[in-house]
Amino acid sequence: MVVQEKIGQFQGLDFWKFPTGIANEGEDICMAAIREVKEETGIDTEFVEVLAFRSEALSFVNLFVCLTYRHSHKKLFEKSELFFLCMLRPLSFDIQKQELEIEAVQWMQYDEYVAQTFVQKDELLNYVMKICLAKENKDYAGFSPVSITSSFSNEKSHLYFNSRDLNKLLSSGTQP
């Protein structure tokens, strides 16, 4: 799933990018990623995992639906920025683009996406595509959310970790 921007830094360029967005204050990463994809494309999704994250990044990316999501603290709107590459699973396929911000939306094959000149020249996008391809080939595990309650807060939150490798460790009898 890729979009072309009607407004923003990629406006008017022949560049397809993954849906992106900014979390609302107090919004969890997984809920913000689901909301942003729905707002921009009309597609319902479920959160799978965080594949990678970077601080102080420019954000623009997503694949099958591997979506980028920004959580800001001080850079944009006086906040610094964390960039999250998230994998979402589509639950619907009927595209309904957001008219205000999005010029076009479409499903795109991996090879067609990586063939774009901008993607080939950008180091961040090259890493993102390698991560997504490794994930598709089952050679990569990201960070899955587990709903928790901590004594630090009475509210539910999510702890994100590599559950595949932790489960291997725990099943082998090795304790952390």
Strand-pair partners of 82: 55, 71
> Taking the C-alpha atoms of 55, 57, 44 and 14 in order, what is their torsion angle to the nearest 10 degrees?
-170
| Rounded distance between C-alpha atoms, residue 51 and residue 84, angstroms | 8
Contact 69, 32 (CB under 8 A): yes
DSSP class of residue 143 equals: B
Kindly state the tokens that stand for 163: 């559950």
**Which residues are catalytically annotated?**
39
